[in-house]
Amino acid sequence: MKKIMLFVLALCLCFTAFGAAFAETAATEAPSAEKPAAEMTAEELLYRRGKEVEQDLVKAAEYFQKALELEADAPEILQAVDELAAALYEDGKAAMNAGDYEKAMEYCRLAADFGYSEAIKEIGNLYCYGLGVEPDDDKAFEYYQKAADLGNINAVNNLGNCYLEGRGVEKNEEEAVKYYRTAAEQGVAAAQNNMGYVYLNGKGVSQDYGEAVKYYTLAAEQGFAIAQNMLGRCYEYGLGVEQDYGKAFGYYQQAAGQGNTDAQHSLGLFYLDGTGVEQNDEEALKYIRMAAEQGNPEAQTSLGYCYAEGRGVTKDYGESMKYFQLAAEQGSASAQYDIGYNYRHGEGVEQDYGKAVEYFMLAAEQGYPAAIFAVGDCYYLGEGVEKDLAKAAEWYQKSLDAGYKADKEDEEHLKAVLGDEYQQK
């Protein structure tokens, strides 16, 4: 009797969570007040009792735990527990989406106590990204493993991420691929996308653009925006497929429509250059600004360029520098170089060779060829640094090794400093 009373009380308390599932029935087929409780369906009982008690998922979880301790294999309790765990998880997800990570953790933990694998995986995500808790790769890996052991295939993909990046476990790209492949074969779009990534970049497998395209296509067909964007790049550059700007544009459109800022930026560049579509500065600016305003650093750099050159907008060096600065603060090497260029030439800011060198150095440290050459040029000309031909030669050579393509003026500097060594290039 005690077990049944606990069970009924828990049902009453958790009515709110189940209410959405029964909303249509409750609205159109409200049970008769005269109908005996013994003859009611579960939905009808919930409808009546849900109006008579204060609804509290947390208290419901406590009562269910007690009921399980008394008789863990009672079918009616097990079924209701599954529904309660799902409701707790959904409330946890809603709290996460609203930015209430403390509540998200509380509800996911309650659901996890009932063995709900999605909630266990979500706790791993909270630890992985440091949402409401201190980031903890070890705990993230632990929860992903628990969820995977319960058959959660999305957690299997997350374990692949841990192995690929060495988070909570020793880095092992081959092991990462095993987990990705397992999840991809069961239709997980994120895992299919990750398989595309490892084949595109030769991580844990031999580089194979054809295989990359295959997996990106599988994920893209499920509407996975990152994969759609990457397919656009494959078609744009002819990686694993015949180069086709029209198809690239189409995939970028699909991804951009889902809010993918990289794809929005690419669409802008296509319009800016007239690649695969009629050239249109206004359309270019629309897509570039769309991505830039969402914080995409490369789009912010491109928007800075549009202001500097007056493409689709009135030329404005001040606005140009504003967007370059936003991108540079996010580590964009191209933006750091552009800021250095502007300080060197006094475009949009007061000329300042010292600041120019500072920004050129930031970009050069990331291997940006034009910035590496610019550092060499500053040493050659003594701009912002003491003139030093030996250092100029060192930086010039680094720029050439990084693939820098010199124009005629640059070549004169290279010849003057590198001499016969440059002539042999």
Q: Using the predicted structure, report yes or no on whether residue 59 has a pLDDT greater than 80.
A: no
Domain residue limits, the chain: 1-115
Question: Is residue 63 within 8 Å of residue 10, measured between CB atoms?
Answer: yes
Q: Using the predicted structure, report yes or no on whether residue 277 has a pLDDT greater than 80.
A: yes
Q: What pLDDT does residue 423 have?
A: 59
Question: Is residue 155 within 8 Å of residue 148, measured between CB atoms?
Answer: yes
Let me know the angle formed at the C-alpha of 133 by 128 and 139, rounded to the nearest 5 degrees.
45
Q: What pLDDT does residue 65 have?
A: 56
φ/ψ (deg, to 5) at 386: -70, 135
The rounded distance, in Å, linking the Cα atoms of 127 and 129 is 6
Q: Mean pLDDT across the stretch 148-175?
A: 97
The rounded distance, in Å, linking the Cα atoms of 97 and 116 is 19
Q: What pLDDT does residue 17 have?
A: 41
Note the residue count of the chain: 425
Question: Is residue 385 within 8 Å of residue 357, measured between CB atoms?
Answer: yes
Q: Using the predicted structure, report yes or no on whether residue 135 has a pLDDT greater than 70.
A: yes
Q: How confident is the model at residue 58 (pLDDT cuts 50, 70, 90)?
A: low
Q: Of 99, 104, 111, 88, nearest to 18 (Cα)?
A: 88
Q: Mean pLDDT across the stretch 394-417?
A: 92
What average pLDDT does the structure give for the chain?
Answer: 86
Q: Using the predicted structure, report yes or no on whether residue 54 has a pLDDT greater than 70.
A: no
Angstrom distances, CA of residue 65 to CA of 44, 97, 325: 24, 27, 55
Sequential DSSP letters for 47-106 = HHHHTTS---HHHHHHHHHHHHHH-TT-HHHHHHHHHHHHHHHHHHHHHHHTT-HHHHHH
Q: What digits encode the pLDDT tens for the residues 321-379? A: 999 999 999 999 999 999 999 999 998 899 999 999 999 999 999 999 999 999 999 99
Radius of gyration of the chain (CA): 30
Among the residue ranges 40-44, 247-251, 284-288, the one predicted with the least confidence is: 40-44
Q: Using the predicted structure, report yes or no on whether residue 217 has a pLDDT greater than 60.
A: yes
Q: How confident is the model at residue 76 (pLDDT cuts 50, 70, 90)?
A: low
Q: How confident is the model at residue 25 (pLDDT cuts 50, 70, 90)?
A: very low
Q: Using the predicted structure, report yes or no on whether residue 41 has a pLDDT greater than 80.
A: no
Q: What pLDDT does residue 327 have?
A: 97
| Residue given tokens 């309660």 in the structure block | 84
Q: What pLDDT does residue 67 have?
A: 52
Q: Using the predicted structure, report yes or no on whether residue 32 has a pLDDT greater than 90.
A: no
pTM here is: 0.79
